[in-house]
Chains A and B, each alone.
Chain A
């Protein structure tokens, strides 16, 4: 009876896994049948999965029709993203902490910050293009902007949420203001700071794609916008799937880093 029950539980789990696999297979099959066999949609608007896969393979080494191979676009996008993101994090997090900890800084900077906070980074693309032209600089500044805001917001509220009792404890042990900031407030704000970095990653990735769509000569966003103008939806789908893949990989890396830094579990 005992093993029987456990076996049924295992079987149930196996059953659902098989259904998941089947579901993806059916999806691909329907896609294939609809395009390659019955030709329900014109191939320029919806190519068959086989064609998408072939395009992916050829794009790995071929430069046509957009002037660079897939890995090149990939590196180009990632480079800009990293540059802007790291810069934004390095400046945003300390600034947010300072705003949260020092009352005078808070009082003066916060209203200004509250004014720029609701501006979606995508709206700044035209400004960047006018000021910097179509260049890496324009994109990097844009990503910097879309990273720095969530970093500041979350570091700020992370510091603000430091439990008063923890500060009192450290005061009774004779900690100075600076010691309290670095040994109590900052570590306790860490989960919030990481949440901010996570939001920043999403929004800067979105901003980058938008910038590349609008004005660029390289990058995955550029690839898909060329795909559009040539009515090559296979190219677009390859580009979109790559963007999704990178997102998955970056999120996984981020999770590892977060696990390494946020120790002792997140506070409620």
Chain B
């Protein structure tokens, strides 16, 4: 049984429920014949991928839905062999170059050139060009992005690129100037509730407007998360009413617990205790940024207004350290220690 996220995913541009104007634009671009390179960006769970798949369908017809997975082997200049998975249909390719880490340049160079230099054989195909969808384009290394630059211009008769990214910050300017930027904003609370209600109708679940609203608020305007939460609620409860509790994910509950522990006591032994929990989170593959961010916002809710500024400042500081450093736990711990210190200082001032 498929998850409702997948089952109810819109397949064509007509079925998309929100951002109607954007859908119109994509459709007109697909129909106009000269389709540009796209750079689609927006927060996760906003529907970037869904829109792209729908656009591809608009471009080529239902043929794009017949996909298969190709395992390709690339050889780097130091003759190391790389295995790389590509999702392909007759008309398009989908790659996630960040899978191969630092060697993404090799993949981008070899694969794109190969695609770009072959012409569409099928005379009945609607478009002369093939589309290459690059996932997580913001994780591409500088080298790989530089390699894209000229390819995009030179082979434009045979090749169109669609880059998917969470933010444009890490995309180099030459790429941005060669693509049409498409921003996909997260759906509003109202739009999420509509989608939830529709899914409920399709599944034959009883409608519970209050619950929908709460899920939408809880999801942080992330539709995928909202749908998964909704399904989780239904999986765990027989009967659904407006105030059925929404179970938070385990990791979030644990972070909440950490926040409480940090607030209660400020001592080295407490840090040690927290450290074990942090390790627990990390070994379960929760990204450190998510941990730090969630922890920060949980703490913010608990402290006085005067402190918030400082806490955010240090949180941003240590988040940056996490990115540039090598060992995550140091920085998470440092943040905990820093927070305890700030808080303690604040309390002492209060006493004076």
Q: Do A and B bind each other?
A: no
What is B's interface to A at a CB cutoff of 8 Å? none
